[in-house]
């Protein structure tokens, strides 16, 4: 993969997801499915006094589930919800009455959390927006207590390959987010930390009657192209037409357009 295409602008990411805060949940069915799958890896009830972190909390949908798993009585600040997008945090705080939650705007590569403070870290579809994976894993190891666990779902490079291939028929610009592959993630973790890791990989294929349904969904999620190497101007009508034609060639036997998501489920433990 071209290294330049992987460079992402975190300010743009924060702004994009902040703008999408009010629409995100309306189109996030797949994101909820992935997060619920990730929840199955965590205890049904956290031990009394456990500190939990929702890293990349977004609209707070899963933050609420984490609060509900805390053993009663739930102490103030038992759950810390961290997100890079201030708009997402504001939306989550205003929409969800979650008194035990400490809402924090912060970067996963520089976590605004104390060392040896977190028993369980939950992060669903957030770390794919990181740039420095060694720094990310160092931070996760730093904030976890000894024996603490991090449960992470993230996207692999096979995600939305159909969209990428259709654009490749049109021009050489980067139109689709490109994500880091599993070996690179594992190597970064091993080089930067003493965390142990278990991995599960799953591919989910969504199907759409019309291409505009997929592109609308990506925009409403705030997950449109964040990589460098993209075109800076408006896409010419003839190129859009060529892109749509290329994607149409991928209709399956049911007459639907596929969109693949490659998901990595990681379970990290601090010795």
Q: Residue 225: is its pLDDT beyond 90? A: no
Residue for token pair 């702004």 = 15
- H-helix segments, the chain: 10-19, 21-24, 29-39, 61-68, 86-95, 133-143, 161-168, 182-192, 211-221, 237-248
Q: What is the reported pLDDT for 35?
A: 98
- Indicate left, alpha or beta for 187 from its phi (over 0: left) and psi (-120 to 50: alpha): alpha
In a domain, 233, yes or no: no
In a domain, 238, yes or no: no
In a domain, 237, yes or no: no
Q: What is the reported pLDDT for 7?
A: 57
In a domain, 254, yes or no: no
- Pairwise pLDDT comparison (108 vs 97), residue with the higher score: 108
Range of the domain at 129: 3-158+177-205+261-269
Nearest one of 56, 63, 200 to 128, comparing CA atoms: 56
Q: Which pLDDT band, with edges at 50, 70 and 90, does 26 fall under?
A: very high
In a domain, 243, yes or no: no
Q: Rounded to an integer, what distance in angstroms lies between the CA atom of residue 179 and that of residue 103? A: 27
Q: Residue 226: is its pLDDT beyond 80? A: no
What pLDDT digit, counting tens, does each position of 33-72 carry?
999 999 999 999 999 999 999 999 999 999 999 999 999 9
Q: Residue 1: is its pLDDT beyond 50? A: no
Q: Rounded to an integer, what distance in angstroms lies between the CA atom of residue 73 and that of residue 83? A: 26
What pLDDT digit, counting tens, does each position of 162-174 carry?
999 999 999 888 8
- Pairwise pLDDT comparison (120 vs 173), residue with the higher score: 120
Overall number of domains in the chain: 1
Q: Rounded to an integer, what distance in angstroms lies between the CA atom of residue 271 and that of residue 136? A: 17
Q: Residue 220: is its pLDDT beyond 70? A: yes
Report whether 210 contacts 159 (CB < 8 A). no
In a domain, 221, yes or no: no
Query: Edge-to-edge strands of the sheet including 144-155?
Result: 101-105, 79-83, 52-55, 118-124, 144-155, 257-269, 196-208
Report whether 249 contacts 255 (CB < 8 A). no
Mean pLDDT, rounded, for 237-264? 95
Q: Residue 227: is its pLDDT beyond 70? A: no
Query: CATH number for the domain including 49?
Result: 3.40.50.150
In a domain, 195, yes or no: yes
């Amino acid at each position: 993969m071209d290294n330049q295409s992987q460079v992402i602008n975190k300010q743009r990411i924060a702004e994009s997801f902040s703008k999408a805060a009010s629409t995100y949940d309306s189109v996030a069915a797949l994101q909820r499915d992935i997060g619920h799958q990730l929840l199955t890896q965590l205890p049904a009830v956290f031990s009394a006094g456990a500190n939990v972190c929702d890293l990349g909390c977004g609209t707070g949908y899963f933050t609420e589930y984490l609060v509900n798993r805390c053993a009663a009585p739930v102490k103030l600040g038992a759950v810390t919800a961290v997100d890079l997008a201030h708009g997402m945090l504001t939306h989550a705080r205003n929409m969800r009455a979650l008194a035990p939650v400490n809402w924090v705007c912060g970067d996963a590569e520089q976590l605004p959390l104390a060392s040896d403070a977190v028993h369980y870290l939950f992060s669903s579809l957030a770390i794919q927006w990181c740039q420095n994976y060694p720094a990310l894993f160092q931070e996760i190891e730093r904030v976890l207590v000894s024996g603490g666990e991090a449960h992470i779902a993230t996207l692999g490079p096979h995600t939305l390959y159909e969209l990428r291939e259709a654009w490749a028929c049109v021009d050489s610009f980067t139109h689709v987010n490109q994500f880091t592959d599993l070996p690179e993630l594992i190597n970064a973790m091993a080089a930067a930390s003493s965390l142990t890791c278990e991995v599960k990989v799953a591919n989910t294929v969504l199907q759409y009657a019309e291409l505009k349904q997929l592109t609308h969904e990506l925009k409403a999620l705030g997950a449109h192209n964040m990589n460098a190497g993209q075109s800076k101007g408006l896409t010419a009508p003839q190129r859009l037409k060529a892109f749509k034609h290329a994607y149409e060639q991928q209709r399956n036997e049911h007459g639907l357009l596929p969109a693949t998501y490659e998901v990595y489920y990681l379970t990290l433990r601090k010795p």
